[in-house]
Structure 1
C-alpha cells in the first residue's frame, strides 16, 4: 500500500512539475521587452549619440570604410560642431557645416582606410558648443582581412 501511495505521489508531482515548466516556456516566448531611452534636455546646446562606438566587424581588404555616427541635439540652443579630428590619417571624419537645431538629428561621417590589414581601434574627437562636454570621443573598431592569395 505504501508503494502505491508513493508511486501516485511521485506521478502527480512529476506531471504538475512538467506542466509548470511548459507554461513557463510559453510565457517566455510571448513576453517582449521594450527598452526606451529617455533623452534628458539640457539648457544650451546638447549632443546625444545613438552609438558612441561603431564596430566594423571583420571586413574585407579595401571594403567600404564609410560609417556614420548619428546624434541628436537634446538642448535648447543650436549645436555647432567646430571640429572633428581622427586619431590618425587613416580615420577621416566629416563635420556638419550647419548648426543643428534643438531636437534635430545630425550625422558625423567617418571613413577608415580599409587598405590597412589587421585589427584596428581608432578614435574621432568632436569639438562643439555642447553644454558640459565641449569635446566628445567616438570610437571605431574592427578587423580588416588580408586578400586571399590568387591561385596560378
Structure 2
C-alpha cells in the first residue's frame, strides 16, 4: 500500500511540475512586436492590378472546343505585385500567370483556357486571383455560348435503335 501511495504521489508531483500552462501571448517577445509594427509602418505603397478588360466573351463555340484568352494587366500601384495563386470556378477553366513580381508600372499577362467538353449552353466562369493587393483577391470572367454536341453535329444520336432486335430474359 505504501508503494502505491508513493507511486501516486510521484506521478502527481511530475504532472503538476511539468504541465505549466503557457499562454501564446506570454511567448510573444515585445521586441519582435515593435519591430513588426515599425516594418509595417515603413512599408512602401500597395500594388494595384488593373486589367485592360475584366471579362471576355468567346461568343458561340462548339461543345468540345478548347479556347483561350490572354488578359493583359498593369500594376498601377506603387509596390511590386505578386500573384500567389489563380483558380478557375471549375476544372474546365485553367489560368496561367507570371510567377515573378510585377514592378510598379509594368505589365503582365494571365492566360485562361476554357474546355467546353460537357458544358453545353450558356457558360460564365470566373478566375479568382490571390494577390498582395489591398483587397487580397482580384477576379476576371469568361463567357461563351456552347452549342451542344448533338446540335453541332446536326443530328441527335438514336438511342432507341440500339436496343432493337435484342431480347432480355
TM range (shorter): 0.5 to 0.7
- Find 1:99's aligned residue among 101, 116, 128: 101
Query: Are 1:149 and 2:154 an aligned pair?
Result: yes
Name stretches of at least 5 consecutive residues in structure 2 with no aligned partner. Answer: 1-43, 156-169
CA deviations on 1:8-51 (whole Å, 9 max, x unpaired) are xxxxxxxxxxxxxxxxxxxxxxxxxxxxxxxxxx9321110111
Q: What aligned pairs does 1:73-152 form with structure 2 within 5 A after superposition? A: 73-115=75-117, 116-130=119-133, 132-146=134-148, 147-149=152-154
With normalisation by structure 2, the TM-score equals 0.59
Question: Going by fraction, where is helix more abundant, 1 or 2?
Answer: 2
Query: Bigger radius of gyration, 1 or 2?
Result: 2
With normalisation by structure 1, the TM-score equals 0.65
Aligned residues: 108
Name stretches of at least 5 consecutive residues in structure 1 with no aligned partner. Answer: 1-41
